[in-house]
Chain A
Amino acid sequence: MEAIFREIALFGGAFMSVFTLTELMVVMMATILGIIVGAIPGLTATMALALLINLTYGMNLNIALAFLLGVYVGAVMGGCYSAIMVNIPGTPSAAATALDGFVLAKRGEGGLAIGTGIVASFFGMLMSILLLIFLTPFLYKIALKFGQWEYFLLSVFGIMICGNLSTGKDPIKGWVVGFLGFFTAMIGLDKIYAYPRFTFGSLELMGGIALIPALIGVFGISEILFVLQEKIPYKIEGNIGRVLPTKKIMKSILPAAIRSGIIGVGIGAVPGAGEDIGAWVSYDIGKRRSKHPELFGKGSYEGLACAETANNAVVGGAMIPLLTLAIPGSPPAAMFLAAIWLHGIKPGPMLPVEQPGFLYRVAILLFFATVFMLVWGLIMAKPMAKILKVKREILMPIIVPLTVIGAFAGGVRGFDIGVMFVFGLIGYVLRKLDYPMAPLVLGIILGPMADVSFRQALMQGQGNLIPLLGRPVGIVLMFAIAFIVVTGIKRAMDYSKEQRELILAQQNSEQSNGN
């Protein structure tokens, strides 16, 4: 009983600390900014957060939180406008939304589709905030049982499952990228003995690869190149009609929305598996469970709601492992983690002791952002057609100086700008070759933890592995990793076989044509 009162007091305190005019204004402006960023194809939620991290450096913590969370929530929802009006997801999380949304827009129901998408996003956010508040304390209890060995296993588990989920068919590619992230984190002085690793005598490399410039490169520069590499003219379905969804639509999407909200939070809680994956998984399950699966892809409000509820539910879900274990649940959440590190907040099982009420502050700010998202989202539905007309050939070059400032501001080192640029090029090439970016980011973030906790765990056992193997949480994690490895390798082999047959079939047809 006492514990409950304590929590209520903490909640009240957190509410008082963020419920001020300044915070509310910041959340509102940030959410609107997020909606616009999310709506414009090429500007993604992750990119926006990466660019904004250093902006928050001079702000006080509450304002910084309000700012980043507002942008995050807005951007994930904003993707639905362009997915529906233009058939190009404004941010990757809205890819599944386009399937039904664009069909509806062509039918003249674009406004209703957008309205439904926004309400579904609102619903997804509410569910995820509730689950965040109630699940996180339990996870704190589990996280307290984590020793060095478990942290090591967890970070390996993180990039393995992220690699597995974020590549369409070939998990090997995801793993390669994830471990490359680990390697990147090794560059510089080692965390135990300050021994220089892979620095090649360079003083600048001794400082290591700074996290934020690398993130900005991977999600900024590579995205800019990707968007500008070809000219895709697009047509906007400007006349969208009524926006507020009807009661009939609302009733029809409710069961799907509840299910998708839970799926979204679940996917969000998985390390690195972000909004886009959440939306796809939920859409896929929704299609199989629906009474009208034949309508999916042909303008189903239910399908639209599946995708939009889930991608926003990921936002709250992604905060759960972030706050309890310092493991981001999605790429934008990774940016959020980098930002709060900058402010000296160390998420993990000790967070409720060091920063009592932090969880509630995050949850309340998310709630404010959610309300603003609903209101402004509906207001902006009609003017959005004009915003989407801004040429990407003008917009994307302007992002370049912003990436430069973002990379430079943290350490005031010219070297960081170079790091940012090189990571942008690496990211671009890897993306061209169908490698996912999420595991790379997760690898860079989790690398130091994996390295240090692995060596310390071995030292604790004095080289004896038996005590380590007997720890219950560790056993669960090891089984999980083994499971991912086995299923992943099987998927990779299936993929290889499928491709081989394609090639053989083609060779046969070439030969028969030759005859």
Chain B
Amino acid sequence: MEDVKKGSVSDFIMSILLLIFGIALIISSLNMKVFNTFLDAPGFFPMLLGIIFIFLGLMMLISSIRRKGPQQMGHVFGKANLGAFFKHIEFKRVMILIGLMVVYIFGLIGRMHFAIATAIYLFCTMWFLKSTGLVKNIIISVVTSIVISVVFRFVFNIPLP
């Protein structure tokens, strides 16, 4: 039952986003340069997309209003529900996993050798996931990152970041 409510609310939010996005697309495509005629202007197709997004957004909006999407907003975004959501174990897990990826991709890679960055990332992620024991974790992280680096660099001749 919760899913039905969430569905109508997420559709409601999405429909608003689509409407805004569609309008923004039309405005920005009308601002694009027209070379010969509007027929082959760079903005023509994006403008069409904007119209389609507005149409789809309206369809979704009507559907979500019929499903009482706006009324459910209060419930879904209520303090109790939102608090529960942020404390939810799944949410935390995903956030931390994403955080680890961000550190790996934007923080470590490029600042040190790919193998070292990868080993650190693998160790931390598997440690967080409690995938295996500490010693095994270290062995797996180090060996995998070295194997990956060597295989891709020298066997497949692929540049490493």
Contacts and interface: CB of A to CB of B under 8 A. Distances in A.
A500 B67 contact: yes
Contact of A418 (B29, B37, B66, B105): B105
Contact of B25 (A176, A183, A405): A183
Contact of B158 (A55, A228, A433, A497): A55
A225 B90 CA distance: 10
Contact of B56 (A175, A397, A404, A454): A175
Contacts of B121: 397, 400-401
Given A225-B97, A394-B131, A400-B125, A58 B4 contact: no
A394 to B, nearest CB: 5
Interface string A451-481: 1001110110011000000000000000000
B3 to A, nearest CB: 9
A355 interface: no
Contact of A434 (B7, B33, B46): B7
A93 to B, nearest CB: 25
Contacts of B90: 229-230
Contact of A394 (B49, B63, B132, B152): B132
A183 B46 contact: yes
B45 A394 contact: no
A88 to B, nearest CB: 18
B158 A405 contact: yes
Nearest to A495: B63
A221 interface: yes
Given A197-B32, A397-B129, A412-B159, A455 B93 contact: no
Interface residues of B, number: 70
23 contacts: A172-B60, A186-B45, A186-B49, A192-B40, A193-B42, A197-B29, A198-B28, A225-B98, A391-B132, A393-B129, A393-B131, A408-B159, A408-B160, A409-B159, A414-B110, A417-B105, A417-B161, A421-B101, A433-B10, A451-B45, A496-B63, A496-B66, A500-B67
A417 B109 contact: yes
B52 to A, nearest CB: 5
A139 interface: no
Q: Is the interface of A mostly helix, strand, loop or mixed?
A: helix
A401 B145 contact: yes
A57 interface: yes
A486 interface: no
Nearest to B3: A434
Interface string A431-461: 0011000000000000000110011101100
Contacts of A495: 63
A229 B106 CA distance: 22
Interface in B22-46: 25, 28-29, 32-33, 35, 37, 39-46
Interface string A492-507: 1101110110110010
Given A195-B33, A394-B126, 20 more contacts: A176-B60, A179-B53, A192-B42, A197-B29, A197-B46, A225-B97, A225-B98, A228-B129, A229-B93, A408-B160, A409-B159, A417-B161, A434-B7, A455-B40, A456-B40, A459-B37, A462-B39, A496-B62, A499-B4, A503-B8
A182 interface: yes
A433 B121 CA distance: 28
Interface string B73-105: 000000000000000011001100110011011
Given A397-B126, A502-B4, A230 B93 contact: yes
A398 interface: yes
Interface residues of A, number: 64
A402 interface: yes
B140 to A, nearest CB: 6
B66 to A, nearest CB: 5
Contacts of A394: 126, 131-132, 140
Interface in A158-181: 172, 175-176, 179
A183 B66 CA distance: 29
Contact of B46 (A54, A186, A456, A503): A186
Contacts of A182: 49
Nearest to B157: A58
A440 to B, nearest CB: 14
Contacts of A229: 90, 93-94, 97
B142 interface: no
A405 B42 contact: no
Given A397-B126, A405-B152, A454-B45, A492 B158 contact: no
B113 interface: no
A405 B39 contact: no
Given A492-B59, A496-B67, A228 B97 contact: yes
A176 B18 contact: yes
Nearest to B102: A421
A171 to B, nearest CB: 10
Contacts of B29: 197
Interface string A367-404: 00000000000000000000000010110011011101
Contacts of A391: 131-132
Contact of B109 (A193, A398, A404): A404
